Structure 1
Amino acid sequence: MKAEIITIGDEILNGQIVDTNSAWMAQQLAPLHITVAQITSIADTETAITQALQQAETRAEIIIVTGGLGPTKDDVTKTTAARYFKTTLVRDPAVLKHVEQLFARRGYSDMPEVNKQQADVLASATVLFNDVGTAPGMAVERNGKYFAFLPGVPFEMKYLMENRVLPALSQKQSDVFVYNAHLITIGLGESHLARAIADIEEAMPPFLKLAYLPKLGMVRLRFTAVGKDPSVLQTEAERFAELVAERIKPHVVAHADITFEEVIINAFSEANLRLSTAESCTGGAIAAQITAIAGASRMFQGATVAYSNQAKMDVLHVHAQTLEKYGAVSEETVKEMAEGAKQVFHSEYAIATSGIAGPTGGTADKPVGMVCIAVAGKHETTTKTYYFKNDRTINIQRASMAALTLLWNLFQKEQLISEK
């Protein structure tokens, strides 16, 4: 089955908020073998909503709409949907009681009429009761199509998807299945990767497609098989993924749909190793990426953002002579920063960064984008200097990815030594 997701809201179109709802919903639909044919963001107007619904019906069997269910005048989704489905709005007593109770619990003795209108639902719809908010969802089935209208507030949308929509969709049987196999690669650009595996990709059967999903410093590969025999789909997707993995073996870090940070956390946790960071130009970005992942506490010891030379000396025990002779942005300095972090945080591994992220501060010898990175491991410390040529934000992102890659390579090297 195919689905289309429609997000409604001027705040999405003008960049005030980022649409994270669609990505999350697509991830939840995948296990049900429901592929997303299109994601559309539209203005909160009757014309835009009507046109989007009409077009979605031609492309998908499942249409999920988020946003525009609030109590204010600019939220016109319900009235537009009523016209679209040639029905009326009725006030649902159970929803009204729920909204009144929510207001009472929040200490409001009088509820405005506009909020009572949140209990208005399509007469032809199945009410998707919203236990965690005031705006109910609605489901409509017409001409073999399933429509779900959900609030745009992320935690309310997620609650209704998990407890109302997905259970309903799981009952809809499909004779077409989807299976995805995944690889995560680092240190090989998309074009070089494609060239290296061109013959393997060419040999794939028609029902198997390879998608390249590049990010800074890495490329995720997704092998998607679509057909009627689940066992064949799984076998072929995994077989070709393994062929690719063997071809580019030094660059493959995982055979799963997870992040590089999760790969590192899992590997360090299994090896009972600990990591710390000492960051200057990256400003704590590396530590933030690691600790954003659940389970990081199993291996992450701590971090410091040692921006000034004095902090580098006081916290990480960098020698004054090193800073004076080589400067803060040097491999000599980051080497001492990493080794100092190992001692301070009692970790087996440590990452250190120092550089000139920009847009100012560069010199002829040390231009904007120059970043020195060190990784101290169990047996050695490795250092490397990079010259990035982007804006400040991208330079920090590239430096963070480069640091994690340097960490992974040293970890892999030392693991091989330990196994011998």
Structure 2
Amino acid sequence: MDVALVTVGDELLAGDTENTNASWLGRQLTAAGVTVTRVLTVPDSESVIADAVSRYRDAFDAVIVTGGIGGTPDDVTKAGVARAFGRDLVVPDDVRAHLEAKAEQFAADNPELVDRYEMELDLDAWASVPEGGQALLTDESFAAGCVVDGVYVLPGIPEELEAMYESIADEFDGDRTAETIHTPAPEGALVGAVTTAREKFDVAVGSYPRKDDEPGRVKITGDDPAAVADATAWLRERIETE
């Protein structure tokens, strides 16, 4: 299963916010045996989002788009995805009713906050999804995410993203498996063993240098668990390990 990630946000491109969502999703998907073969960051631009989703949705088994899905002016992620499919944004009655009840409960629990900031809640924006899409709702997020023909739209706030991903995690399942060897050896000392292991066992082998107090890593990845295990054992006999 090949997946592409599209992370949306001017703040990500400017370096104002670290793109932890891409890293977190990459780890979750890899652990599920899925191959992430694209990670693209785009600005808060409906047309740019639409272009990226249009190109990726037919090229990959699934696309995960994460970014603003609420009701502020720069939250254009759902609109961009709808545009990629040539569809309108619609507001399902049941989704709006669910979010309206949630907003009323929030106001009842936090009257001083609502009064102080004179909060204006755009329920239609929160509840909207591309026509034909399935809404995704969680306790952690006010706005609805959605799924449209293999394109998953999730929030940009990390806690909300993680909760919504967990609700659809079972839909991501692949055969990719990986093993990691920790080594104190410099990368230059690993070239011969890494090259031979790739050719001998038909697996992907990457070497990564030491970072801070952590040892270097050699990661062996493939679709055949037996080949990955054999390559790992072969490498352990030939490189220094920690």
Counterpart among 216, 222, 225 of residue 225 in structure 1: 222
User: What amino acid sits opposite 1:52 in the alignment?
Assistant: A
Q: Is the partner of 1:96 in helix, strand or coil? A: helix
Structural mapping, 1:319-338, within 5 Å: none
Asked if the contact 2:4–2:56 (Cα under 8 Å) also holds between the matched residues in 1, the reply is yes
Q: Is the partner of 2:177 in helix, strand or coil? A: strand
Structural mapping, 1:68-79, within 5 Å: 68-79=68-79
Give the equivalent residue in structure 1 for 2:91: 90
Give the equivalent residue in structure 2 for 1:184: 182
Structural mapping, 1:172-251, within 5 Å: 177-186=175-184, 188-195=185-192, 197=193, 200-201=196-197, 203-206=199-202, 208-216=203-211, 218-226=215-223, 233-248=224-239, 251=240
Structure 1 residue 202, shift from structure 2 partner: 5.3
Q: 1: CA distance between counterparts of 2:50 and 2:38?
A: 16
CA deviations over 1:331-385 (Å, ceiling 9, x no partner): xxxxxxxxxxxxxxxxxxxxxxxxxxxxxxxxxxxxxxxxxxxxxxxxxxxxxxx
Q: Is the partner of 1:59 in helix, strand or coil? A: coil
Q: 1: CA distance between counterparts of 2:159 and 2:232?
A: 35
Asked if the contact 2:64–2:153 (Cα under 8 Å) also holds between the matched residues in 1, the reply is yes
Asked if the contact 2:201–2:231 (Cα under 8 Å) also holds between the matched residues in 1, the reply is no
Give the equivalent residue in structure 2 for 1:358: none
Distance 1:189 1:45, change over 3 A: same
Q: 2: CA distance between counterparts of 1:113 and 1:2?
A: 37
CA deviations over 1:373-411 (Å, ceiling 9, x no partner): xxxxxxxxxxxxxxxxxxxxxxxxxxxxxxxxxxxxxxx
Structural mapping, 1:22-171, within 5 Å: 22-85=22-85, 86-91=87-92, 92=95, 93-107=97-111, 108=114, 111-114=119-122, 117-141=125-149, 146-162=150-166, 164-170=167-173
Corresponding position: 1:252 with 2:241: yes
Corresponding position: 1:19 with 2:31: no
Corresponding position: 1:5 with 2:9: no
Structure 1 residue 83, shift from structure 2 partner: 2.6
CA deviations over 1:139-179 (Å, ceiling 9, x no partner): 112xxxx11101100000000111x2213335xxx6xx211
Distance 1:178 1:98, change over 3 A: same
Asked if the contact 2:126–2:143 (Cα under 8 Å) also holds between the matched residues in 1, the reply is yes
Asked if the contact 1:96–1:116 (Cα under 8 Å) also holds between the matched residues in 2, the reply is no
What is the TM-score with the length of structure 2 in the denominator?
Answer: 0.87
Matched positions, count: 232
Structure 1 residue 203, shift from structure 2 partner: 4.1
Structure 1: stretches of 5+ with no match in the other structure: 227-232, 254-420
Distance 1:130 1:99, change over 3 A: farther
Larger-Rg structure:
1
The structure with higher relative contact order (CA 8 Å, sep 6+) is 2
Structure 1 residue 126, shift from structure 2 partner: 1.0
Q: Is the partner of 1:252 in helix, strand or coil? A: coil
CA RMSD of aligned residues (A): 2.1
Q: 2: CA distance between counterparts of 1:71 and 1:100?
A: 16
Q: Is the partner of 1:204 in helix, strand or coil? A: helix
Structure 1 residue 31, shift from structure 2 partner: 3.5
Q: Is the partner of 1:247 in helix, strand or coil? A: coil
Q: 2: CA distance between counterparts of 1:202 and 1:119?
A: 49
Structure 2: stretches of 5+ with no match in the other structure: none
